[in-house]
């Protein structure tokens, strides 16, 4: 009997591509990578993987994706940074079709385990007002008042996973990801998140000799940022665990956006004049991950210092930026 297939959806994206790379290194067996984008636009792609371009909003494509499946890693959704999700609420909500059809297809094909990539945007926004950041515990998602659009879709899809586990005995695992960043991620074009956007802005200022930077909001927003290697490691540990309820997967190191700009400036060796775009999308005032549960249940938590992760991210984006300026690469 042939080995069952491990399926990664959203595999052409940032986290999905890194996850496929990690599964290959671990010898996970036959891998099937799925994304709606043409293969030429994937962030990472491997020739020894079954790469397929499918639209998982369509049920028949989900059934094709799950044929012969063992484990499913469901990361496909329409998303981006705060600028994107605040301006595209309906598109973000439509991602509910993906997880609904994928759960049904995974059940129909007898999947063993099903991982769902949720988000810290599920947390009650009333608990994230004010700049004094109180780390969010898993129970803080209720009473429900998530980020409008994207957060509601994620919270609803979490419930879908719960009920498929309860009613159909499909073993589901749910991680609430907190601001994942790193090399091989989106750094331009409108879907990038704060670490990549700030790295790009600092690089552009240095390359062009125009030492100014625009910051969205007043720079006092508090955040924790999770390095991609920690994210992928946590997904692997969670998938092999018996933790069936949603769990935080994020760094507990909290900084302001101004602090983040300070770090990138130090890495670049420059100081920039800052202006603040107060009417730009900025999200909640403060958000950080309480890692009590993940430490208790998995005996592990993300630990990459922000400075270390940003150094690697800055170096990668710098190379991409310079190559694009020379006409040798295109932005993804």
Catalytic residues: 150
DSSP class per residue in 75-88: ------SHHHHTT-
Region of residue 219 (phi > 0: left; psi between -120 and 50: alpha; otherwise: beta)? left
Measured distance CA(228)–CA(94) in Å, rounded: 26
Measured distance CA(98)–CA(78) in Å, rounded: 10
- Looking from the CA of 120 toward its CB, the CA atoms found within 13 Å total 28
| Cis ω for the linkage preceding 143 (within 30 of 0) | yes
Sequence-separated (6 or more) residues with CB below 8 Å from residue 296: none
Residue 243 DSSP label: -
> What does each C-alpha distance from 271 to 161, 199, 258 come to in angstroms?
47, 13, 12
Residue 7, phi then psi, degrees to nearest 5: -105, 130
CA angle 143, 146, 152 (to 5 degrees): 110
Q: Is 330 exposed, middle or buried (0-12, 13-18, 19+ CB in 10 A)?
A: exposed
Measured distance CA(60)–CA(169) in Å, rounded: 23
Hey, what are 6's tokens?
């491990």
H helices of the chain, in order, are 14-25, 59-65, 82-85, 89-93, 96-108, 150-168, 194-208, 228-239, 257-268, 292-298, 306-325
């Amino acid at each position: 009997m042939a080995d069952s297939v491990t399926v990664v959806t959203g595999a052409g994206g940032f986290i999905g591509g890194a996850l496929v790379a990690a599964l290959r290194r671990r010898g996970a067996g036959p891998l099937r990578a799925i994304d709606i984008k043409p293969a030429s636009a994937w962030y990472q792609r491997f020739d020894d993987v079954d790469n397929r371009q499918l639209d998982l909003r369509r049920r028949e494509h989900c059934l094709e994706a799950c044929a012969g499946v063992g484990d499913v890693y469901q990361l496909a959704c329409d998303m981006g940074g705060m600028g994107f999700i605040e301006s595209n609420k309906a598109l973000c909500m439509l991602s509910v079709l993906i997880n609904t059809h994928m759960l049904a297809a995974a059940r129909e094909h007898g999947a063993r385990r099903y991982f769902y990539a949720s988000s810290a945007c599920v947390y009650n926004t009333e608990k994230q007002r004010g700049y004094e950041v109180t780390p969010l515990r898993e129970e803080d998602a209720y009473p429900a008042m998530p980020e409008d659009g994207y957060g509601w879709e994620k919270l609803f899809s979490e419930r879908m996973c719960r009920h498929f586990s309860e009613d159909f005995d499909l073993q589901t695992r749910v991680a609430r990801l907190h601001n994942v960043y790193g090399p091989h991620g989106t750094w331009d074009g409108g879907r990038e998140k704060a670490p990549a956007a700030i790295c790009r802005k600092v690089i552009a200022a240095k390359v062009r000799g125009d030492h100014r930077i625009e910051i969205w909001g007043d720079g006092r927003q508090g955040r924790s940022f999770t390095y991609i290697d920690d994210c992928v490691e946590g997904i692997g540990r969670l998938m092999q665990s018996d933790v069936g309820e949603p769990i935080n997967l994020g760094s507990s190191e909290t900084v302001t956006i101004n602090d983040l700009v300070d770090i990138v400036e130090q890495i670049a060796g420059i100081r920039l004049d800052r202006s603040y775009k107060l009417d730009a999308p900025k999200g909640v005032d403060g958000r950080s991950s309480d890692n009590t549960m993940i430490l208790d249940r998995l005996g592990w938590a993300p630990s990459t210092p922000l400075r270390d992760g940003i150094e690697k991210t800055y170096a990668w984006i710098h190379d991409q930026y310079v190559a694009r300026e020379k006409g040798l690469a295109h932005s993804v």
